[in-house]
Chains A and B, each alone.
Chain A
Amino acid sequence: MALLRLAGRRLALAVPGLLGVIVVTFLLNRALPGDPAAFFAGPAATRQAIEEIRARLGLDKSVPEQFVYYVRDLARGDLGTSLTTGQPVLRDLATRLPASLELTLAGLALAVTVALPLGVLSATRPGSWVDHLARVVTTAGVSLPIFFTGLLLVYVFYFLLGWAPAPLGRLDAFSTAPRQVTGFFVVDAVLAHDGALAWAALRQLALPAVTLGLFAMAPIARMTRASMLGVLGSEFIRTARAAGLAPRTVLVTYALRNALLPVITLLGMVFSFLLGANVLVEKVFAWPGVGSYALEALIASDYAPVQGFVLLMATLYVFLNLTIDIVYGLVDPRVRIEA
């Protein structure tokens, strides 16, 4: 109950931030150089035709007026219509968000499976060659531009070796999407007992997830190492060791559990960062997520999708932080959520 109340208070505190996001996005969009009316009036449009379209899009109104209309629509849950896809932004985002989340979670999961053991390993042997190697490898992963890593992986694993499937989004051209339960194709296909489809979806997911994962390894490994080092040097570990507990038990049950706390906080940050970094990976892999959607819209000066995307990300960010705080509270009862 107390947790709920605190969560509510945290949410209330997030409202001004979200309002700030709405205002800034709106203004930034209006400052974009393109003129959607001219863009969508077609190549042969006369000035008059453009003015007609401008009026139809409501762009002939003053900026404050447009803002009032925007907020009013927003309150009704109407995020506007994308001029690039011709669909309501809310529907576009809803159909595309699972793709982005699936990719981001898969990338994060990959990064954690590699980086967490690496971090622990480094912490148990600080200064050894393993430690240095782990550092060099993870740092190298974060040092390449993410789009370059993606293109390189496609070139090597698809074009040269033919191991990976074509970078054609979430499924190859001949598969149909599974019935939507979670929106994650791999999970949905498993739920539908369609092994072949799950496999197909997984293969499509592999390269983009690796691209994203490479980028997320460094901070996770670094934080795990630092946190483990801190914990391993503390009194209770020394006591546990002195009490003759098996090194494995000490390491996993005592040290790792305690070292995980800061890592969890970091995971939240990395997750929201990856959702943003997705933009370029999605572009390279034709992944039909919200990032590539926002990118195309931004380039076309298509206001509504950009605004919708940023708002969605900001909301996700708020909820993510809240979840982290709650998880934090659950993992470590000593921590009380501070409002």
Chain B
Amino acid sequence: MMRVLGTLVLSAATLLAPPAPVSAQGRQETLIVIVESGPNSMDIHGVGANRPAYQASWNLYDRLLTYGVKRLPDGSRMYDYNSLKPELAESWTLAPDGLSVTFKLRRDARFHDGTPVTARDVKWSFDRAVTVGGFPTFQMKAGSLEKPEQFVVVDDYTFRVTFVRKDKMTMPDLAVVVPAVFNSELARKHATAQDPWAMEWLKSNDAGSGAYKLESWKPGQDTVYVRFDDWKSGPLPKIRRVIVREVPSAGNRRALLERGDADISFDLPPKDFAEMAKAGKLAVVSHPVENAFAYVGMNVKNPPFNNLKVRQAVAHAVPYEKIFSTAVFGRGVLLTGNPIVSLTYGHDLFPSPYKTDMAKAKALMADAGFPNGFETTLSFDQGFATINEPTAVLVQESLGQIGIKTTIEKIPGSNWRNMLLKKEMPLFLNAFGGWLNYPEYFFFWNFHGQNAVFNTSSYQNPDMDRLIEAARFETDPKKYRELVRGFAKIEITDVPRVPVYQPLLDVAMQKNVKGYQYWFHRQLDYRQLSKG
């Protein structure tokens, strides 16, 4: 003990020496990513796989298809929702009757252990996705991929998917994160009678054929990936090694980036992105998150927010500009009068007409029969307190002026989903974004009478349901547009939730990091990156 003590004292004295130089070669080919929290599983099908697990799966595993890339006017790159590109599949043909698709697999693809990727692996993986339940099954279903009988092994390198119905979401759904292809032989070795799909083993092991292999995973600390040099499904990535470090403190993440000790991060408060973009020392790339917006929600089932006039009063009392400048630091697109930036989402057809107008809000309150206002609670998810807390304070202050006295309730992240499920919160801040970029998909989850968990307002309206259902299978573009405009208009007029802004997906990186590309899953794809 005394020896250790002595060493400590000595070292404390010499601690102020400059740091040892890191091998420049290794630094050049190594990408250091810093995140707030890391994956809880390497298996995208696993129970409760979190968002960082999407990133792990995306880089460790290949899919049959992937999306193309498009260049945006500002020069940045974004995945192209309208173009599907080969990954493990070399080519594919739709049957003349439009009720099945046949994939030809590439013959040179190998799993990380060297075994070839075959149609049997694809079938095993898809069967698994539609069988294990929870998120993967749900996501497959969104593309009408529902049962194992749909997946047919024709031969080692030919695979067919038969459709239960014609659905424009089927093909795009095959390129999302969930239909990853697992090494079925390897996985089966670790399957047991209780665990036929090897859920336990795949949770922390890699059975993929992706461009990166798992080198080590220390949950709560870091995940290290190395390039898979035999990867054939695309050009060999430039980055040899990727270290994803978990840094819980936001201030520290910014400090690490600014001092050049980390290369890239998504996880910073909007204020930091705004300042970094302005300072210009680091590159900040931003894209509006597709099919998403942040809103002030109201429960339309219960008084007082079952009163349309009250909801409209709130919509006129929300301090849009203040929230946007103070809480969001301009990292988004304000939705007052502006259409949402998206190719397909309904708001571009019917922009929100609401603006902050306290006189009008007061008049509406009086009209609604609440000239003296009422008391209620304003809830938000503690996990997003950086933006939500100042927003809540501003909303509270503004609503106070029209007589609505609110108590702010911070709900811990673990309980937030529970509270959404219960649908008892009268007034709350929330945001939603969908992977599949269709307005009717968004509306189906958010405003349809089936009252899914995302329908946070418990909004139910038969007219709305009819239009959403019709749009899903409408093939005529003109009619489709009318349907979308129809349900968007109902939403804006009935205003169960007040749209505030569309968030930006910001990423900050060192200037020498090139090739970043926006993906629908909003995670980092290491394959496109390089360090100049």
Direct contact of A and B (CB under 8 A): yes
Contacts of B134 in A (CB 8 A): 41-42, 45, 49, 52-53
Which residues of chain B are within 8 angstroms of A47 by Cβ–Cβ distance?
421
Which of B133-147 touch A at CB < 8 Å? 133-135, 138-139
B1-43 with Cβ < 8 A to chain A: 1, 4-5, 7-9, 11-12, 15-16, 19-20, 22-23, 26-27, 30, 32, 37, 40-41
- Interface size for A (C-beta < 8 A) is 73
Partner of A299, one of B23, B251, B412: B412
Query: Taking A39-B414, A41-B134, A202-B11 as contacts, is the C-beta distance between A109 and B4 under 8 angstroms?
Result: yes
- The distance in angstroms between the C-alpha atoms of A52 and B47, with both chains bound, is 11
Q: Which of B104-140 contact A (CB under 8 A)?
A: 133-135, 138-139
What class of interface size applies to chain B in its complex with A?
35 or more
Across-interface contacts of B415 in A (CB, < 8 A):
33-35, 301
Complex CA–CA separation, A162 to B19 (angstroms): 9
How far is it, in angstroms, between the C-alpha of A288 and the C-alpha of B37 when the chains are bound? 12
CB of A252, distance to nearest CB on chain B (Å): 15
The CA of A47 and the CA of B5, in the complex, are separated in Å by 57
Shortest CB distance A151–B (Å): 6
Tell me, yes or no, whether B220 is within 8 Å of chain A by CB: yes
B256 close to A168 (CB less than 8 A): yes
Is B246 interfacial (CB-CB < 8 Å)? Answer: yes
Given A33-B412, A173-B245, A300-B414, CB of A286 within 8 Å of CB of B252: yes
On whether A284 and B204 interact (CB within 8 A), knowing A32-B414, A109-B8, A165-B19, the answer reads no
A86 contacts B203, C-beta separation under 8 Å:
yes
Which residues of B lie under 8 Å from residue A286 when comparing CB positions?
Answer: 245-249, 252
Question: Considering the chains assembled together, what is the distance between the CA atoms of A92 and B204 in angstroms?
Answer: 13
Within 8 Å of chain B (Cβ to Cβ): is A40? yes
A95 contacts the other chain (CB 8 A): yes
> Which of chain A's residues have a CB closer than 8 A to the CB of B219?
82, 84-87, 92
Closest residue of chain B to A87 (Cβ to Cβ) is B219
**Least distance between B456 CB and chain A CB atoms (Å):** 12
A39 contacts which chain B residues (CB < 8 A)? Answer: 48, 413-414, 417-418
B192 to chain A, nearest CB (A): 15
Check A38 against B19 for contact (C-beta < 8 Å).
Answer: no
Contact B48 A42 (CB under 8 A): yes
Contact residues in A for B27 (Cβ distance below 8 Å): 174
Q: Which 8 pairs of residues, A with B, have the shortest CB-CB distance?
A: A40-B48, A34-B414, A85-B219, A42-B135, A301-B414, A35-B418, A34-B415, A166-B261
Contact bitstring B256-268, A, C-beta under 8 A = 1, else 0: 1011011000000
- Determine the residue in chain B with the shortest Cβ distance to A160: B255
Q: Considering the complex, which residues of chain A in the window 286-307 have a beta carbon less than 8 Å from any beta carbon of chain B? A: 286, 288, 292-293, 296, 299-302
Enumerate chain A residues within 8 angstroms of B262, measured Cβ to Cβ.
166
Interface assignment of A240: CB less than 8 Å from any CB of chain B:
no
- Closest chain A residue, CB of each to CB of B14: A199
Question: Interface readout for B194-228 with A: 1 if CB under 8 Å, 0 if not?
Answer: 00000000011000000000000011111000000
Q: Which residues of A contact B220 (CB under 8 A)?
A: 84-85, 92, 96, 288, 292-293, 296
CB pair B255 A159 closer than 8 Å: yes
Interface positions of A from 140 to 176, Cβ below 8 Å from B: 151, 154-155, 158-159, 162-169, 172-174
CB pair A41–B48 under 8 Å, yes or no, is yes
B8, closest chain A residue (CB):
A109
Find out whether the CB atom of A84 lies under 8 angstroms from the CB atom of B40.
Answer: yes
A interface SS class: helix
Q: Which of B8, B133, B222, B418 contacts A110 (CB 8 A)?
A: B8
List of B residues within 8 angstroms of A49 by Cβ: 133-134, 138
Residues of A within 8 A of B30 (CB): 173-174
A36 within 8 A of B: yes
* B86 partner residues in chain A, CB cutoff 8 A: none
B221-243 vs A, Cβ < 8 Å mask (1 yes, 0 no): 11000000000000000000001
In the assembly, what is the distance between CA of A158 and CA of B454, in Å? Answer: 43
Q: Which residues of B contact A164 (CB under 8 A)?
A: 15
In the bound assembly, the distance between CA atoms of A199 and B37 in angstroms comes to 28
Question: Is the C-beta of B46 less than 8 angstroms from some C-beta in chain A?
Answer: yes
Interface residue B492 (Cβ < 8 Å from any Cβ of A) = no
Contact flag A203-B221 (CB < 8 Å), given A45-B135, A158-B255: no
Q: Check: B349 CB closer than 8 A to any chain A CB.
A: no
Mask of A11-42 contacts with B, CB within 8 angstroms, 1/0:
00000000000000000000011111011111
- Complex interface: chain A residues within 8 A of B40 (CB): 83-86
Query: Least Cβ distance of A190 to chain B in Å?
Result: 8
A110 to B5, CA, bound (A): 8
A46 at interface by CB-CB < 8 Å: yes
CB-nearest residue of chain A to B258: A159
Determine the distance from Cα of A206 to Cα of B15 in the docked complex, in whole angstroms. Answer: 8
Residue of A nearest to B220 (CB): A85
CB distance from A148 to the nearest CB of B (A): 12
- Which residues of chain A (277-327) have a CB below 8 Å from chain B? 283-286, 288, 292-293, 296, 299-302
Q: Add 15 more A-B contacts to A47-B421, A109-B1, A169-B245 (CB < 8 A).
A: A32-B414, A33-B412, A33-B415, A33-B418, A34-B415, A34-B418, A39-B414, A44-B452, A52-B134, A82-B219, A151-B249, A168-B245, A173-B32, A186-B7, A199-B11
Interface flags, A41-65, vs B, CB<8A=1, else 0: 1111111011011001000000000
B368 at the interface (CB under 8 A from A): no
Query: With an 8 A cutoff between CB atoms, is A331 at the interface?
Result: no
Neighbouring A residues of B19 by C-beta, 8 Å = 165, 203
Complex interface: chain A residues within 8 A of B261 (CB): 166, 168, 172-173
A261 within 8 A of B: no
Option from A38, A200, A283 in Cβ contact (under 8 Å) with B248? A283
